[in-house]
Amino acid sequence: MAKMSESRYPLPTGWRWVRLGELVREALPGFASGARDPHGVIQLRMNNVDTNGNMVWNEFLRVPADPETIAKYQLAVGDVAFNNTNSTALVGKSALFGGYSEPVVYSNHFTRLRTLPERLTPDYLAAWLVWQWQLHVFADLCNQWIGQSAVQSDKLLALEIPLPSLAEQRRIAAILNEQMAAVERARAAAETQLAAARELPTAYLREVFDTREAAMWQKEPLGSLSVVGPDNGIFKRRIDFGIGVPIINVADLYRGLAVDLTKVERVNASVREMERYAVEAGDLFFCRSSLKREGVGWCCYVREVDEPTVFDCHVMRVRLNRSRAQPEFVAHYWLHPDVRAEVIGKSKTATMTTMSQGDLASVKIPVPPVQAQARIASILREQHRGVSQLQTSIQLRLNTINQLPAALLRRAFSGGL
């Protein structure tokens, strides 16, 4: 299906298609500056414009500039900043400049658009550019190099914009400003709720493991409660994957506290490999090596095994003495932020971050009676299930909110507002 910007679509009576170049009196690229000056002028950079058409001032750079440069490149209220150079996914994001408490200039990654006021209002233009970015028009239009993409001014100005009267432009822009502000408030509220929901698992863990009762539990090294090993699992090249028996790898450890064996990859394995690297119900698996330091030592357990299963070379298997320690209890404890910090602190970083069997085995585990472990694990399981459902619900609502701007803009530029 062709994008609306790529082919003309029916317009309301009184509207017409007009080349953008006929509606702007200036399209001026900014200036490059590698120097910094804490007392210099603020320079608009790529991080100062978001994908929703807002200018963001929580971080900015100051650069040296003489009065002539400032006069030439200073943004004025009503200017539209078009991000002409960025990654392919972000090139073309735009925003209307509404003023700032001090002068602001802009880098060569932006083009300043100034409209002909008797033909095009800047807020209408800014909203239309945001819509074109959402339609991926600029990603399709740009020239691409390694690491960056750019939209040339002639291609930008050749685009056709649906143009109503000035009064209609102002009416549409006013409605969009009000509706977009409501969307932003809803998005912020949902993001706050989602952040709070993500903190709940840690709060639940602290309610169990940071209590006076927990402080009285005896602690023992994981190695004294289990068999750790072998050193690492089965090594297979990627071309060996596809058929055979299920294999647990690092990616499977991040999908949930219990490994879902229905979603793991399969690999051909010899009889010896299947014996040496066999997985049993109740086994714990730890990330032995990771490109990201925070990923090392991540833990999951296997609830049940329906067919022969093996594990790969980037995870370690720990088989607990079930009369002393319950797998699900240990897996929950391993999520505690203090334990995560200890585990990460024991890791070694080179090309990859790794942890040894000895480091893993030395981490001390609380050992209350196994009946208490089972009860605690059951409570935490239900709490985490509830949190997961809550997070899913909020994320779905956030996804719906994030789709609203595109729907509003589509209506606005087809005469539906």
Reported as a single tens digit per residue, the pLDDT across 357-378 is 888 899 999 999 999 999 999 9
pLDDT in tens, 225-282: 988 777 667 887 777 788 899 999 999 998 889 999 999 999 999 999 999 999 999 9
Output the pLDDT for position 255: 84
Going along 260-385, which residue ranges are E strands? Answer: 265-267, 284-287, 289-290, 299-301, 310-311, 315-320, 348-349, 353-354, 364-366
- CA distances for 375 relative to 45, 192, 259, 306, angstroms: 54, 32, 21, 25
* C-alpha distance from residue 256 to each of 100, 115, 251, 366 (Å): 46, 53, 10, 22
pLDDT of 346:
86
Question: Percentage of the chain surpassing pLDDT 90?
Answer: 83
Examine the pLDDT at 137 and tell me if it is beyond 60: yes
Yes or no: say if 20 and 161 are a contact pair by the CB < 8 Å rule: yes
Q: How far apart are CA 336 and CA 376, in angstroms?
A: 14
Instruction: Report yes or no: 207 and 383 within 8 Å, Cβ to Cβ.
Output: no
- Torsions phi, psi for 190 (to 5 deg): -65, -40
**pLDDT the model gives residue 31:** 97
Mean pLDDT for the chain? 93
**What contacts 246, CB < 8 A, 6 or more positions away?**
261, 264, 265, 266, 307, 309, 310
| 184-204 residue pLDDT tens | 999 999 999 999 999 999 999
- Centroid of chain to Cα 215: 37
Give whichever of 120-129, 218-227, 228-237 has the largest mean pLDDT. 120-129
CATH number at 4-163? 3.90.220.20
User: What are 153-175's pLDDT values in tens digits?
Assistant: 999 999 999 999 999 999 999 99
DSSP state of 61: E
Mean pLDDT throughout 139-161?
94
Supply 221's token pair. 């090294």
Q: Which CATH superfamily is domain 218-367 in?
A: DNA methylase specificity domains (3.90.220.20)
pLDDT in the model for residue 8 = 81
How many residues does this entry show for the chain? 417
**Cα–Cα distance between 156 and 128 in angstroms, integer?**
12
pLDDT, one tens digit per residue, over 67-117 is: 999 999 999 999 999 999 999 999 999 999 999 999 999 999 999 999 999
Q: Distance between CA 330 and CA 146 in Å, rounded?
A: 46
> Are the folds of 4-163 and 218-367 the same?
yes
Domain ranges of the chain: 4-163, 167-197+375-417, 218-367
pLDDT at 349 over 90: no
Q: How far is CA 417 from CA 34, 52, 161, 175, 249, in A?
A: 45, 19, 17, 8, 52
Q: What is the pLDDT of residue 145?
A: 87
Per-residue pLDDT at 1: 36
Residue 5 one-letter amino acid: S
5 has pLDDT over 50 = no
Q: Are 75 and 44 in contact (CB under 8 A)?
A: yes
* Helix (H/G/I), strand (E/B), else coil: 25: strand
Say what the pLDDT of residue 2 is.
39
pTM metric for this prediction: 0.77
